[in-house]
Chain A
Amino acid sequence: MAIFDEELGALKERVLRLGSMVEAAIHDSVRCLVERNSDIAREVIEKEHQINILEVEIDEECIRLIALRQPKAGDLRFITTAMKITTDLERMGDLAVNIAERAIELNEEPQLKPYIDIPRMAEISEGMVRDSLNAFVEGCTKLPYEVIKRDDEVDNLNVQVFNELLFYMIQDPNTISRATRISYVSKYLERIADHATNIAEMVIYMCKGKIIRHMEFPPPIF
């Protein structure tokens, strides 16, 4: 089983690497908005295909491991969870691209207001992504529950940002198109946090091991 253990270790590392890439994409997408630097945004958009490639690579490796090593119980559950997690990570990458696109548009117009809540939302979301993946590779701890709790903070900030922008829009209809774009960025960050929450929920579900117990003693078949 030593080879299989090494393969599982390599799988964990790849999932962590995908996570780091997604975190960097979120970070840079918001930085290009705050620093009004559209070159960073274009870089985020260009780099997105690397995230997609690694997602597919991880999925292929999972299927290969299932087919060749015929893992049981905890290992099987870990691998199938990895396959589900990659989907969430890849979608977060898409959302970082969406932020970058809105940032490029916003950078072409005068700045409506200083960005305060949005960098804060990005910071929390990045931490949630990191922690949800650490929870996944480290096994079963309290970490995924903490991730889920923090999602409320991001939701509240999203509502706060939206209400503030609504005020701008009502005061001056000329701000509507810019304010709407900023509200989209806030919404994208909220969705990124939702994806991290989904990962945390899958980790908890993996740890509960409801199905694993059924599989410890598979009934004779064929």
Chain B
Amino acid sequence: MAIFDEELNALKEKVLKLGYMVEAAIRDSVKSLIERDSELAKEVIKRDHLINALEVKIDEECIRLIALRQPMARDLRFITTAMKITTDLERMGDLAEDICERAIELNEEPLLRPFVNIPRMAEIAQEMVRDSIDAFVMGCSKLPYKVIKRDDEVDSLTVKNFKEMLEIMIQDPKIIPTAVKRTYIAKYLERIADHATNIAEMVIYMCKGKMIRHMEIPEGE
């Protein structure tokens, strides 16, 4: 089983790497907005295919491991969870790309007011991504529960941001298109946090191991 253990470790490392790439995409997308750096935004958009390629590679590796190693119980559950997690990570990458697209548009307009909520949201969302993936590779701890709790913070900031934007839209309807784009960016970050929450939920579900018990005594054909 030594080869399989090595393969599982390599799989974990690939999932971690995908997580880092997604985190970096989120960080840089918001940085391109705050620093009004559209070149950086274009770079993030260009890099997205690397995230997609790694997602497919991980999925292929998972199917290969299931087919060739016929893993049971915990290992099988780990591998199928990895396949589900990659989908969430890839979609977060797409959302980082959406942030960049809005950033490029916003960078061409005058700055409405300094960004306060959005960098804070991005910071929390990045931590949630990191912790949810750590929870997945480290096995079963309290970490995924912590991730889920933090989602409320991001939700509150989304609402707070929306109310602030609404206020300035009512005062000056001319700025509506700009303000709306800013509410979109908050919404994208909220969805990134939702994806991290989904990963944390899947990790908890994996750890509960309800099905693993059923599978310990396989029925005869």
- Give residues in A with beta carbon < 8 Å to B: 3, 56, 59-60, 62-64, 66-68, 70, 72-73, 76-77, 80, 83-84, 87, 166, 169-170, 173, 176-177, 180, 187, 198, 205, 210-211, 214-215, 218-219, 221-222
Contact = CB atoms under 8 A, between A and B. Distances in A.
A70 B173 CA distance: 62
Given A170-B174, A210-B60, 8 more contacts: A56-B205, A66-B80, A68-B215, A68-B218, A68-B219, A76-B67, A80-B62, A84-B84
Interface string B62-79: 111011111011001100
Given A66-B76, A66-B80, A67-B215, A80 B63 contact: yes
Contacts, number: 84
Which of A66, A214, A222: most chain B Cβ within 10 A? A66
A66 B66 contact: yes
B70 A70 contact: yes
Contacts of A72: 67
Contact of B63 (A62, A67, A76, A166): A76
B211 interface: yes
A180 B162 CA distance: 10
Contacts of A3: 221
28 contacts: A59-B80, A60-B211, A63-B80, A66-B66, A66-B76, A67-B76, A68-B215, A68-B219, A70-B70, A72-B67, A76-B67, A77-B63, A80-B62, A80-B63, A80-B80, A84-B87, A87-B84, A166-B180, A169-B173, A169-B176, A176-B170, A180-B162, A211-B63, A211-B64, A215-B63, A215-B64, A215-B67, A218-B68
B64 to A, nearest CB: 7
A111 B63 CA distance: 51
Interface in B143-188: 162, 166, 169-170, 173-174, 176-177, 180, 187
Contacts of B142: none
Contact of B166 (A62, A77, A176, A222): A176
B173 to A, nearest CB: 5
A174 B163 CA distance: 14
A143 B215 CA distance: 36
A84 B55 CA distance: 13
How many interface residues does chain B have, given as a range? 35 or more
B196 to A, nearest CB: 14
B169 A83 contact: no
A64 B215 CA distance: 7
Contact of B66 (A80, A87, A169): A80
Nearest to A187: B187
Contacts of B113: none
Contacts of A73: 67
Contacts of A80: 59, 62-63, 66, 80, 83
A170 B170 CA distance: 9
Contacts of B180: 166
B46 interface: no
A56 B169 CA distance: 43
A173 B76 CA distance: 55
A62 B80 CA distance: 10
A214 B83 contact: no
B64 A169 contact: no
B166 A67 contact: no
Nearest to A84: B87
A84 B41 CA distance: 30
A20 to B, nearest CB: 23
A177 B166 contact: yes
B169 A176 contact: yes
A111 to B, nearest CB: 21
A63 B221 contact: no
